[in-house]
Structure 1
Amino acid sequence: MASTVPLHIPRFLSTIGRNRNDGASIKGDSSIVKSPAKRLNRISNSNSRPHPIPPNRTYVNQNKSITILSKNEDLQGLLSFKNDRVVFNEVNWSTLFNKLGRFKGRKDEIVGDERFKVLLEELEEIIDEGTPQAISNVAYSYAVLGVEDDYYFESINDENVIEGILKKGYVQDISNTVWAGSCLGYGMEKWICDLIVEGGRAQEIANTFYSVIQLEQNSQNSIAGKKLAEAIENKGASKLVKFGGGQEIGNVIWSMAQGKLECDGLVKGVAEEAERIVGIAKIMEVRIFDEIF
């Protein structure tokens, strides 16, 4: 697994969702996975509880064990793995949910298991200590398994969390999180519009859009792609044309075409910019000609 840099997420997250009466629910199922009242309090009290820190080797060995269970297709072992461990860091959480997400053919079995419901109750550790990859892996697994968790997605949809991820440039993590939240019906506009498109970073826009479209090609849900396309058309086309190179612009237009999305504004912007560049070139040619002769 790629190395990641921990995000320092503020403690105000403990106040998010305080008026909620429900916990994580299963998409398409009327049942609710209830979260105990102590769930939100654990973040604010986490500094006062004893938390022994073992050597890094312990976490590494746990990651290896999770991977072995996945290779052996031992779903029961994965569901029980956290219960048998005193300590579990954000990388272990990330790996565990990444592997659980690969059992999407058995999602009904997973989401109905009491051990999985216990895992959902403890997920604030990912948000409180999480890295971009950990946040992304859990979100992606939620989408694959059809698990809705208002607390989780409201927490990671905070601007401070998003900015921390975007600053590190983890494009795959960004696109996976946007796709997952959109598939489950959570508004990811802050991710898509305010910080990705308005930031004007052409490479990031192109790579994120490409990844989102690739993820959605085998899915009937293209909410993330549509919202990203709308954001580019309405706010990002001029910046993309101005600051992006041919490769980035070409990738975005190709991605829009793959997703059967409108890109008239971007194409028009490219055409106008091309005319401007040609016009500048012609002026320079005249000046050079005059200087020579």
Structure 2
Amino acid sequence: MTDLPDSRAIATFLDMLAAERGAAGNTLAAYGRDLTGASEALDGRLASATTTDLEMLFAGWSELAASSIARKRSALRRFFGFLLAEGIRPDNPALALASVKPGRPLPKTLSVAEVDRLLATLDEDMAANPGPQAIRLKALMELLYGSGLRATELVSLPRNAIRPPQPFAIVTGKGNKERMIPLSPAALSAVEAQLELVPKDSRWLFPSGKTHLTRVRLYQLVKALAARTGIDPARISPHVLRHAFATHMLANGADLRALQTLLGHADISTTEIYTHVDAGRLVSTVTRLHPLSED
């Protein structure tokens, strides 16, 4: 699309906003942060990004407030509109992004059977080709579904965050808040295998190049696994697996406060949305406990 470096493209765009549009300092700072963050998530390929790339970005932002997502969408649309107007690229890939709708939608999730199928495919991959890529994907998936980590938390895990045989990890989440998450035996075993492949002086558990695996690459790996499993890739993402973790925990009797801690939610109202997802459990509870259900 374009050979213009992201840093130069973003700086030129912000200069235009300041000089021609008289944008306020706060607006320029917010747009600058949004565009720089998007560039980092795409490994410096924002200026040449496709609509698919941008959709992956927005999947990683799904937990943000609607106002934050709307601002990021506005920044991207105006940025690519500027690149189009200047002849730097021939299209605006952000125009295809849907507008933010008010309210908080119910999270997408997977059934236990579908997750079992994903994990079975992983085991088949390991048996057919037990190489570094399969071992890494096994560890990623076991941590996503087994611990409910956010995509950013997962890909940026320090190498020393998990120290077998200790069955827990220390995770730094939003607001630099640390929390402890338990690890299932399957996740611990998968991480042990991954640790054997990672140099002891590596900063990251999932290194890639000079830094760690990106959220976009994680998104691609999960989609590819779904396709191999026979599950529509459009139905799945790292965040859907986090939702599946939460929904299945509630279905098996997890306390809402405990789940809030595990997910790293600052406000329990964020966690409460999962009580609306597990409608089957609610019906079962009423049937079992309500006096009139005996008739």
TM-score where L is the length of structure 1: 0.28
Structure richer in helix, relative to its length: 1
Bigger CA radius of gyration: 1
